[in-house]
Amino acid sequence: MKLAKPIVNENGMTLCGAGTELTAELIDRLSKMDVAKIVVEGHPVDTGEPEKGLAQHIEELNHRFRKVSGDPLLREVRDIVLRRLEERYGE
């Protein structure tokens, strides 16, 4: 397997670049560095969980912004994210 995206730590430092071949040794080192998520090249893996639809994404977005609904700037940020979601789902 090869990385599709670089692995970056919490300080923004690149640990491994995109295209890096994953070996057992490298996976072990990344695990010891508490890297919890990577993106590899290829087809998505079926996790058995249904994909989120637009309605569920909108519900989560509204939940995240519920405490700052009175802030006009953050409402604008929410609306930008909402428009992006709608574009992504073709609506």
* Beta bridge partners of residue 1, listed in sequence order: none
Position 49 scores a pLDDT of: 75
Q: What is the pLDDT of residue 91?
A: 65
- Alpha helix locations (H) across 1-91? 24-32, 54-64, 72-88
pLDDT digits (tens, 9 = 90+) for 20-66: 999 999 999 999 998 888 989 987 777 777 788 899 999 999 999 99
**b or e along 51-69 (b: 16 or more beta carbons within 10 Å of the residue's beta carbon)?**
eeeeeebbeeeeeebeeee
CA 64 to chain centre: 16
pLDDT in tens, 57-75: 999 999 999 999 899 999 9
Asked if residue 89 lies in contact with residue 58, where contact means CB atoms within 8 angstroms, the answer is no
